[in-house]
Structures are given as C-alpha cells and as structure tokens.
Structure 1
C-alpha cells in the first residue's frame, strides 16, 4: 500500500523525525497535535479551550491534506495537563465531533513539551474507498 505523509513545515518534525499525519490506504493517523499556528507559535496561552480548538483545527487541516475529513475520524486521544479543565476540552471536542462521536480517551499528563501547552490531541481516521 502507498504511504503518504503530511508535514506542517515546523522545526519539530524533522528534528524529532515524525510527520504530522500519515496515510496508508484508507487509514490516516494524526500525531499528537498542539495549539500551534503556521509559524509554530502556541495559540491561546493560558486558555485550554482555545488551545483545544486550535489543535482540532490543525487536525482537520492535516486530515484534509491527505484526503480525509473530520467525519472519517474513528478515534481521538486527548492529553491534558489539568484534568479539572476537562469540560472546556470536551466542549471544543464536541463542537468538532458532536455528531461524529468517535471513540475517545482523555487523560491527565504531568506536562507537555512546552509548558505553555495545555492540551495535545491525536486522531485516527478511516477514509471510505
């Protein structure tokens, strides 16, 4: 099967050796995605809801670059630095996936790669043939 990758062009991807998203056949896996803009700067400092919205927007962009859509997402994983803010992250997730309703997990982690980052989200999609 053909493997296609998508990169945002930020410095992290070549340094760490990963792609924002990879498509193999009908499957798309989107790496842990944070609230960064096109220049790699964190959006929504101190606001976990704004960061979740930006991360989910970045996921949508990666999916679309590989021929997918949010409707194709079957699984998400949400990593938050403060689980007491789960409602704000859940609200953002619901705004993107309310009727799609993928399987999901949300777990608290001690920190992310940048202390300003409050949430990181992964997604898996299956694109119909």
Structure 2
C-alpha cells in the first residue's frame, strides 16, 4: 500500500531553514511535531504564563489538523513538554478543556530548555482519520 505524503505548513520561516513541516499527513496518519506558543506575528504568546502558552500550542495544532482535513477530535496521542515539571498541572488543566471527552493517550515530560527561553511548553500530537 502506497500513501501520498502531504506536508502541512503554517508559514513559519524556520520550516525551510531547518527542514521541517508543522505536520505531515501520510494516508490516515497525521503527526504534528514540537509546537511552540508562537503567534502569527512570530512572537511568543503568553510570556511567563503556562496556561496562555498551552492554549496557543493547542490552537496551532488545531489549525494544522484542520489544514490536513482533520481536527482535535481525531487526536490519538499528545505530548506535553515542559521546561519546569512543576507546571504540569496548569498545562494539563488547559489540555483537559480540549481533550476531556476525546481522551487521547498522553505523555508529560520536562526538558532542560527550548530554542527560545521564553517558551515554557511545547506540544506534539498524532491523529488518525478515516480516509
């Protein structure tokens, strides 16, 4: 079985510099890589506010999923990546408002830092849709 590969972009100039896509759809599978809390203007949303940053990450993921013909309701896995594990509850409380009924599997982890020190969180998501 051979599937087409669709690259999803949100216009981030780093996509061509680094060589990545916001999301990739292959057949029914959609993978969304590390999504930072960045607005359309390229600036960090919610500096110092884990809840605002989490909402922005999910907003960007939602947009990428919709571009791929999907939506949050198709998400099967999320990864919450934090610079401070003590922020896990505040991030998960926001995540819950989007995924309470969908209930994808989840991983919560901490890293030493992101490329931009203003970022407190990044999200990743995987979805599967009917083709």
The TM-score with structure 2 as length reference comes to 0.96
Are 1:14 and 2:40 an aligned pair? no
> Conserved in 2, the CA contact under 8 Å of 1:7 and 1:19?
yes
Matched residues in 2 for 1:58 and 1:109: separation? 21
> Conserved in 2, the CA contact under 8 Å of 1:10 and 1:39?
no
Count of aligned pairs between the two proteins: 129
* Structure 1 portions without partners, runs of 5+: none
SS in 1 for 2:24: strand
Shift of 1:10: 1.6
Matched residues in 2 for 1:77 and 1:23: separation? 18
Matched residues in 1 for 2:77 and 2:91: separation? 16
CA RMSD of the aligned region, Å?
0.7
Counterpart for residue 91 of structure 2:
89
What do the CA deviations read for 1:88-119 (whole angstroms, capped 9, x no partner)?
A: 10011101111001001000111011000000
2:40 to 28, 38, 41: 38
